[in-house]
Chains A and B, each alone.
Chain A
Amino acid sequence: MSTVLVNGVTKSFGRTTALDGVDLEAGPGVTGLLGPNGAGKTTLLRMIATVLAPDRGTVTLLGRDPSRPEDRTRVRQRLGYLPQEAGFHRGFTVFEFVDYVAILKEMTDRRPRHDEVRRVIALAGLEPVSGKRIRALSGGMRRRVGLAQALLGDPDLLVLDEPTVGLDPEQRLRFREMISYAGEGRTVVLSSHQTEDITALCARIAVIHQGRTRFVGTPAELTAQAAGRVWTDTQRAPAALAAWRTGDGTFRNVGDPPAGADLIPPTLEDAYLLLVGASEREVAAA
């Protein structure tokens, strides 16, 4: 059975439709939501994290209906969530904040709770700064605090909104390690507009654009859609959807190649650009 089942979900904020009939299914492993800024990824993740309720459609999490208060509490007992703009009580130390969240996650016995807090702090590589106040930490360290609290209690469903945003390359690699560990046997749903993160981590991806699901499948399947549509040339091809000069001085063109073009294997990023470009053209035509 799928851990996350989103069916025909619509959500509007005033006149803006953030999600328009979105479907998504996610089971154990890491599922990535890919899409440009404002695509609706955060809205969808907030629904999966039980922060928001849909206007229409249904969301089923861990076999329960979070629109019912009792079910919602049950889901939250097995949920870890890292919001996009995770804030913290800045006067708390790392240990105190994670411990505070642990109390709210109904870990009442002091000794096992403290053991669990120490475990997630170690997992997030925060042991050296465990006694430091959060306000004294760098942005990357704070992001790790966010992940540490999300990992409390070994949740069955982990929802991570842009977990690697604002991190330097080393921190991103460290984060990937942690997320890939978390995805072993659990369901992790994360959003990103970094295709490298998605390629590195996700077994399944969904591309969201302008509030709609444009693709659901594996990264390899999405990449395969761009086969025969990426080529190199000495100049920017006028018909290319996107083109840029690479390190060796040639242009990498993505779009509809001319006859006899020097085709090269596509990447996930190429396929993503093609998909988003096509959906933009579709919307413009409509």
Chain B
Amino acid sequence: MTAVPLIGREARRLTRNPVLWLVPVVVAVTSALDEASDGRNATYWYGTIFTAVAFFGPIFVLFAANLVASAARRARAEEILAVTPTAETRRTWAMCLGIALPLCAVGAVAAGAMALVDAFAPIAATDAQTAGELAQLPFILAGAGLLGVLAARRLRFAGGVVIAFVLATLGGLVPFGKFAAGLWWMWWSTATPFEGRAAVPGEPWLHVVYLAGLCACAAVAAVYRDRRRLLLVGAPTLVATLAVGWLQLQLP
């Protein structure tokens, strides 16, 4: 089984990508510049962790994952890798898992940290997130990484990832009318610690499933290049994801 060492190698490549390490830098800089009118209390740190993982995180992760996934194409190393016995499908699966798993872990750690802050210094009900909302964080990060892989596989030209970013953002904004909600950048989350209202109305746990479905759709679309297998695996995944997406909006 080449899968385990290969997944480990892809995970290592992602964690060594300098773009990913811009997240803590940017969060540190913005926190330092932030006036923090109410002081740097528990609510402040709660919101900072959330912003790092749910806002800055996905943006930088998308670009970092894309750089990792497109490295062979950019370096013109594809031909060397293509003639190894590990088929492209398996290599891409390993890449998807190598990128998604550590990001899920980071999201889970962040969610755990937020829960811990809330446990020691209870956050006001308008700012606090439910368990279902916290559970979305791993999938938000993993989804951004998988979108980066998908862009590397499908938009095989310089700037493809920027197009993916713009399309994904617009695609999220338009159906959910986020501009009106005043939280346009949070298109990927039902949760909001701001203004006491959900950015996406719906049931948070079902939204978790919906986000997991989006992750699966991105991975399947990245892995399967031939139309038959893409249709065979992708169509049921997409239908199930859309069904959950629709269902979560029907529930309060």
Residues of B within 8 A of A101 (CB): 80-81, 84
> Digit string of B65-79 for contact with A (CB within 8 Å is 1, else 0)?
000000110011111
Q: A86-B77, A87-B76, A88-B77 are in contact. Are A106 and B82 (CB under 8 A)?
A: no
Number of interface residues of A (CB under 8 A): 29
Q: Does A213 contact B (CB under 8 A)?
A: no
Interface 9-mer from B85-93, B121-129, B244-252: B85-93
Q: Does B1 contact A (CB under 8 A)?
A: yes
Q: Give B81 Cβ to nearest chain A Cβ, in Å.
A: 6
User: Which of B75, B79, B87, B91 has a CB less than 8 Å from the CB of A89?
Assistant: B75
Q: Does B216 contact A (CB under 8 A)?
A: no
Q: Specify the chain A residue showing the minimal Cβ separation from B87.
A: A73
Check B2 against A103 for contact (C-beta < 8 Å).
Answer: yes
A106 and B6 CA atoms in complex are apart in Å by 10
A108 and B80 CA atoms in complex are apart in Å by 18
> Digit string of A100-125 for contact with B (CB within 8 Å is 1, else 0)?
11011110101000000000000000
Residues of A within 8 A of B78 (CB): 87
Q: Does A79 contact B (CB under 8 A)?
A: yes
Check B87 against A51 for contact (C-beta < 8 Å).
Answer: no
Residues of B within 8 A of A82 (CB): 80
Q: Does B5 contact A (CB under 8 A)?
A: yes
Q: Does A267 contact B (CB under 8 A)?
A: no
Q: A85-B76, A88-B77, A89-B71 are in contact. Are A108 and B1 (CB under 8 A)?
A: yes
User: Which of A50, A87, A110 has a CB less than 8 Å from the CB of B5?
Assistant: A110
Q: Does A76 contact B (CB under 8 A)?
A: yes
Q: Does A77 contact B (CB under 8 A)?
A: yes
Check B85 against A81 for contact (C-beta < 8 Å).
Answer: no
Check A104 against B6 for contact (C-beta < 8 Å).
Answer: yes
> Digit string of B19-60 for contact with A (CB within 8 Å is 1, else 0)?
000000000000000000000000000000000000000000
A77 and B4 CA atoms in complex are apart in Å by 19
A110 and B8 CA atoms in complex are apart in Å by 12
Q: Does A245 contact B (CB under 8 A)?
A: no
Number of interface residues of B (CB under 8 A): 23
Residues of A within 8 A of B91 (CB): 104
Check B84 against A108 for contact (C-beta < 8 Å).
Answer: no
Check A81 against B2 for contact (C-beta < 8 Å).
Answer: no
A77 and B76 CA atoms in complex are apart in Å by 22
A108 and B87 CA atoms in complex are apart in Å by 15
Q: Which of B5, B6, B72 has the most chain A CB atoms closer than 10 A to its own CB? A: B5
Q: Does A146 contact B (CB under 8 A)?
A: yes
Q: Does A255 contact B (CB under 8 A)?
A: no
A86 and B81 CA atoms in complex are apart in Å by 10
Q: Which of A50, A103, A105 has the most chain B CB atoms closer than 10 A to its own CB? A: A103
Residues of B within 8 A of A103 (CB): 2, 5-6, 9, 86
Q: Does B180 contact A (CB under 8 A)?
A: no
User: Which of B4, B80, B82, B86 has a CB less than 8 Å from the CB of A149?
Assistant: B80
A220 and B119 CA atoms in complex are apart in Å by 85
Q: Which of A46, A85, A100, A104 has the most chain B CB atoms closer than 10 A to its own CB? A: A104
A93 and B137 CA atoms in complex are apart in Å by 34
Give the 10 A-B CB pairs with smallest separation, nearest first: A87-B76, A104-B84, A87-B77, A87-B75, A76-B85, A104-B86, A83-B79, A77-B85, A81-B83, A103-B5
Listed in ascending order, the chain A residues whose CB lies under 8 Å from chain B are 46, 49-51, 73-74, 76-77, 79, 81-83, 85-91, 100-101, 103-106, 108, 110, 146, 149
Listed in ascending order, the chain B residues whose CB lies under 8 Å from chain A are 1-2, 4-6, 9, 16, 71-72, 75-87, 91
With A77-B85, A104-B2 given, name 11 new contacts (CB 8 A): A74-B85, A83-B79, A86-B79, A87-B77, A87-B80, A89-B71, A91-B16, A103-B5, A103-B86, A104-B84, A106-B2
19 pairs, A vs B, C-beta closer than 8 Å: A51-B82, A74-B85, A81-B79, A81-B80, A85-B79, A86-B79, A87-B72, A87-B75, A87-B77, A89-B72, A89-B77, A101-B80, A104-B84, A104-B85, A104-B86, A105-B85, A108-B4, A108-B5, A149-B80
